[in-house]
């Protein structure tokens, strides 16, 4: 008998000063790990076209700045960028759209239900502690079972 796969989704909303930013993030358990697929639109232009993208501790996306989501999901206490919540960056088109898909073994879908995914205004330098000097939180969505 095949094990039932867990699937969850987060609806991304923009910060108070980013009302056009929106998107979806799907998380699906697979034999290889968790498949994460993000589809985002309305990203504002920045210097590089890259945007840090992380999984955060809390299930809260309160405007205006989403600091209610707290820090990166990091159950093992690892340094950045080895947090369970450290994701590859989003890369936007000139129209402010981004799509990203990757597989991770750092968590299962059931472990992250109720946590928040966050998009930052800048790229992640993958060095600075504790969040990669990624800048303001411009998008946020709470992961819910689907």
Give which of 60, 55, 69 is closest to 27, Cα–Cα. 55
What integer pLDDT is reported at residue 116 of this predicted model? 96
Q: What is the pLDDT of residues 33-73, one digit of tens each?
A: 999 999 999 999 999 999 999 999 898 999 888 989 988 78
Q: Domain of 67?
A: 7-145
* pLDDT mean across residues, the chain: 90
Widest pairwise Cα distance in the chain: 50
The tally of domains found in the chain comes to 1
- Mean pLDDT on 90-99: 97
**108 lies in some domain:** yes
Q: For 33, left (φ over 0), alpha (ψ -120 to 50), or beta?
A: left
**84 lies in some domain:** yes
pTM of the prediction?
Answer: 0.92
């Amino acid at each position: 008998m095949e094990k039932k796969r867990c699937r969850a989704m987060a609806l991304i909303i923009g910060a108070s000063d980013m009302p056009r930013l929106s998107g979806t993030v799907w998380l699906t358990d697979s034999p290889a790990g968790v498949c994460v697929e993000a589809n985002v639109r309305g990203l504002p232009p920045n210097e590089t076209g890259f945007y840090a993208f992380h999984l955060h501790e809390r299930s809260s996306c309160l405007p205006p700045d989403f600091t209610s989501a707290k820090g990166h999901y990091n159950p093992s206490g690892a340094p950045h960028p080895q947090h369970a919540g450290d994701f590859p960056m989003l890369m936007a088109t000139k129209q402010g759209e981004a799509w990203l898909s990757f597989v991770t073994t750092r968590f299962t879908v059931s472990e992250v239900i109720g946590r928040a995914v966050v998009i930052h205004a800048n790229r992640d330098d993958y060095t600075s502690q504790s969040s990669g000097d990624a800048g303001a939180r411009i998008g946020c969505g709470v992961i819910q079972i689907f």
